[in-house]
Amino acid sequence: MENKKFQGIIPPEKWIKDCSTPLIIAGPCSAETEEQVMQTAHQLKNTGVVQIFRAGIWKPRTQPNTFEGVGSVGLEWLQRVKRETGMSVATEVGSAKHVFEAIKYGVDLLWIGARTTSNPFAIQEIADALQGADIPVLVKNPLSPDLDLWIGAIERLHAVGLRKLGAIHRGFFSWEKTDLRNQPCWHIPLSMMRQFPDLPIICDPSHIAGKRELVPEIAQRAYDLRMHGLMVETHINPDNAWSDARQQLTPANFSEMIQSLVGTDSDEPYNHNLNDLRTEIDEIDEQLLGMVARRMRTVEKIAHLKEEEKLNVIQPKRWQDVLVNVKTKAESRGLRPTFAEGLFNAIHEESVLLQSNIIRSNQP
């Protein structure tokens, strides 16, 4: 059921001159030097697909004494980008001071980063500073997978009169290490899209992927799910970037990726409920595989300990205790105990095989 919380949201087509969907925003993670900004901007302009050039001026970093952005001087470089390329420009803001500086220098679009979204006090300060302003603002999801916190941040901006609003999906932090930098948890932005169909949501595949070779796959997934655009980090020399070097594309690689993306027919009926649930299943399957892989890594350590202690690979008493515990917990969760027993027996068989191979390979 459609939520009426955000009334009067203005679509991206009416935000800025030449703006349309899919909304394509690209540029370096950080503005480092004027030369780097201008070269990147001109190369992106030549792709013919970038509507808004992005560059971080102030960088919220985890560790002190690291590069935290060039500051307001970088806003002068963005002014030059506008003059020479005609592209609109965007930057991240994390405080009222950033808002005032960015607007003073004619920045066309602002975005709020994940760390800032996670702090309602910071969001309210920014909202108060933006009261009466006519500028598009995009809000990245918070670090944690908290949909209410994300919605609440946008709600604070809407409450002060902003109507050119949107969201950026950049993935969520997880202690579990995978190939991705941040977990997509696609069901969360999809829930946002379902609740607020008029609120544009674009994807930041760079921060989800964390590795440039994975960015196209995430971007295609965002297109498949009918998100409203992309924000992609690009740099003329990514390997030497001052921040997030690993996930940035060259303008040429970026252009190739955009050309390779396959869109969907917007007129084709889209069953949000079915597709959302299938996406959630895919994510759960990925998590299951990750947990099984983690279990097998622990099994490897057990194999080495058993070898040192001259213990048998199979410990019948231990395994029977595991099965009893598994079947009891399965039943309490609405699963058939026999199903859980079969599943864990299959995992145990693979564990025994792995341990046996490790011990055998170390024998003279």
CB 142 within 8 A of CB 114: yes
Q: Regarding the domain delimited by 12-260, which CATH topology (the fold level of the hierarchy) does it fall under?
A: TIM Barrel (3.20.20)
DSSP class of residue 15 equals T
Task: Note the CATH architecture for domain 272-361.
Answer: Up-down Bundle (1.20)
CB 55 within 8 A of CB 91: yes
Which tokens sit at 203? 């994807």
Burial of 208 (0-12, 13-18, 19+ CB in 10 A): buried
pLDDT along the chain (364 residues), means of 10: 77 88 95 98 96 94 81 97 97 97 97 97 98 96 96 97 97 87 92 92 97 96 93 97 96 96 62 73 86 92 91 90 93 93 93 91 76
How far, in Å, CA of 148 to CA of 191, rounded? 11
DSSP 20-50: -SSEEEEE-SB---HHHHHHHHHHHHTTT--
Nearest residue to 295 via CA among 284, 305, 287, 307: 287
Domain ranges, ordered by start, for the chain: 12-260, 272-361
Give the alpha-carbon dihedral of 215, 219, 220, 221, to 10 degrees.
100
Residue 205's DSSP bridge partners are none
Confidence at residue 265, expressed as pLDDT on a 0 to 100 scale? 53
Confidence at residue 270, expressed as pLDDT on a 0 to 100 scale? 55
Confidence at residue 65, expressed as pLDDT on a 0 to 100 scale? 77
